[in-house]
A and B are shown apart, each in its own frame.
Chain A
Amino acid sequence: MPDSDIIEQIKSGDSAAFRRLFEEYKDRVYNTSLGILQNASDAEDTVQDVFVEIFNSIGKFRGDSSPGTWIYRITLNKCFEHIRKSKRKKRFGFMESIFGEKSESLNLPDFNHPGVIMENKERSAVLFRAVEKLNDSQKSAFVLSKIEGLSVKEISSIMNLTESSVESLLHRAKNNLKKLLSDYYNSGL
């Protein structure tokens, strides 16, 4: 069944259709969130936020873009919203410590993506540490391309950019990563 039909069924109050949409997109949303947030627990929270948002705003979905594009957009928004909230929490961390609340760290120092093959685990952890330092748009383009495996065309419709802009973003992301990795290996070797 096409996704647009599932969306129409959800709009008409079919809860089973919402479950089908979840099954269809849960891994894509989780994998994208995991690539950006680099933390399994944060990525799970984001999956929940994304599907709650989908359910609450499905009435506003007009079908200008494909449901997949719309869901990826919500995912990116929720990920960066999560990062902003965590940064705000960190900024007021001293207040939390006064009131006895535990402040959670945004990212674990060494993140291992479960989908990376065993022999590349160590190197990919180094790469993820560098990806963390990219700006939001370069990080989004890199994660959607390298971790989600989307084409430039798909990324361009998700990020609302031209294909050449996405290519340029990916090129700059790769150059920045090269620079960061060179510095890393230069200090270590």
Chain B
Amino acid sequence: MERRDKIEDEVKKTLESLDGIKRAEANPFLFTRIEARLEKPENYGVHIIRYVLIAAVILVLNVFSILVYRSASVDAGKSGQTETIVQEFNSFEYNTEDILNGYN
């Protein structure tokens, strides 16, 4: 009980610790810094770098897509060639059988 009263008293005193607080004063030289910021173009360089980076990323993505597309069409061409060879081989087999049948 005594402990709880003590805690309540501490909380009350702490909540009252801001009573009579005075307003903090700002550094008067801040105005010079504000003037300097208003005079220079706001983050102009940063904006340019940002746009250049975005353009570079888009360019890299485009180049990558083209490379992927090209390699995919080359692969498709290769598999097409294989299919033709297999078909030709099969037709050769049939021809051989026909020839053999013809002899029999």
Binding site for B on A (CB under 8 A): 19, 22, 26-31, 34, 44, 47-48, 51-52, 55, 113-117, 120, 123-124, 126-127, 146-149, 174, 177-178, 181-182, 185-186, 189
Contacts and interface: CB of A to CB of B under 8 A. Distances in A.
Interface of B: 3, 6-8, 10-11, 13-15, 17-28, 30-31, 33-34, 37-38, 42
Given A19-B31, A189-B6, A177 B37 contact: no
Could you tell me the dominant secondary structure of chain A's interface residues?
helix
A117 B6 contact: no
Could you tell me the dominant secondary structure of chain B's interface residues?
helix
A120 B17 contact: yes
A127 B18 contact: yes
Contacts, number: 97
Contacts of A185: 6-7, 10-11
A177 B31 contact: no
Given A48-B37, A174-B15, A148 B23 contact: yes
B26 A30 contact: yes
A30 B17 CA distance: 20
B6 A116 contact: no
Contact of B14 (A26, A114, A123): A123
Contact of A124 (B11, B18, B27, B31): B18
